[in-house]
């Protein structure tokens, strides 16, 4: 059922709560998860690849945006990696947003704003870094919009980092980023997951 999907505004899946642990380079976070959100039993492998790849990036200090935050692993790790930055974490899934807020409190992360936005609809500023593990099951149109509209939400020299599997559209995502930004680099390949990086010149 479509309303059970993690990209629905109000998933109706029966609650099935868990707490998962995730460690990256000495940072240890715990996440409350539930049915009706993406990857409820563990931090998604692709999200983990993105979290590890993003840590060494240099970008303008104009804040960070996590698009499709779910219960918050990417955005909360970004907030830990860059405590001097504000991380905006957006999603349409109200259950995911409630969990992300709970997880920010659980991990004592306060440099975040967590709010509902259908992609960039409620986003009214530009950032130094946009992060996304796009909701592939929401369809190519949604994924393409996340990638193509990112440029207008980045400051000059701002970056977008995207994790996507080869079999789920990496070649077309790379092509779209290249057409939009005039550049796209493969930062990492790991078990079929690609981290794509594009820079607003």
Domain boundaries defined on the chain: 43-199
pLDDT by residue for the chain (201 residues), tens digit each?
Answer: 333 454 555 545 556 677 888 888 889 999 988 765 655 567 889 999 999 999 999 999 999 999 999 999 999 999 999 999 999 999 998 889 999 999 999 999 999 999 999 999 999 999 999 999 998 888 899 999 999 999 999 999 999 999 999 999 999 999 999 999 999 999 999 999 999 999 999
Q: Say if pTM beats, i.e. exceeds, 0.75.
A: yes
Give the span between the Cα atoms of 195 and 186, in whole angstroms.
Answer: 6
Nearest to 47 by CA among 60, 33, 35: 33
Nearest to 149 by CA among 167, 130, 164, 135: 130
Give the span between the Cα atoms of 165 and 159, in whole angstroms.
Answer: 20
Q: Identify the CATH class of 43-199.
A: alpha beta
- Residue 161 gets the label, from left (phi > 0), alpha (psi -120 to 50) or beta, of beta
Q: At 191, give phi and psi (nearest 5°).
A: 50, 45
| Rg of the chain over all Cα atoms, to the nearest angstrom | 15
């Amino acid at each position: 059922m479509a309303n059970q999907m993690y990209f629905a505004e109000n998933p109706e899946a029966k609650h099935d709560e868990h707490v998962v642990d995730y460690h990256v380079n000495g940072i240890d976070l715990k996440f409350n998860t539930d049915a009706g959100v993406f990857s409820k039993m563990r931090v998604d492998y692709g999200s983990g690849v993105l979290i590890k790849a993003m840590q060494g990036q240099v970008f303008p200090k104009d804040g960070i945006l996590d698009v499709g935050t779910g219960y918050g692993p990417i955005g909360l790790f970004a907030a830990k990696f860059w405590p001097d930055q504000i991380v905006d974490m957006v999603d349409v899934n109200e259950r995911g947003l409630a969990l992300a807020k709970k997880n920010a409190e659980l991990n004592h992360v306060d440099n975040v704003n967590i709010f509902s936005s259908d992609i960039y609809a409620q986003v009214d500023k530009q950032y130094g870094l946009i992060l996304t593990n796009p909701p592939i099951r929401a369809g190519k149109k949604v994924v393409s919009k996340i990638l193509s509209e990112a440029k207008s939400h980045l400051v000059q020299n701002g970056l977008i980092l995207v994790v996507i599997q080869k079999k789920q559209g990496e070649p077309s995502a790379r092509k779209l980023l290249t057409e939009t930004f005039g550049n796209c680099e493969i930062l990492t390949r790991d078990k079929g997951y690609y981290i794509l990086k594009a820079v607003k010149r």
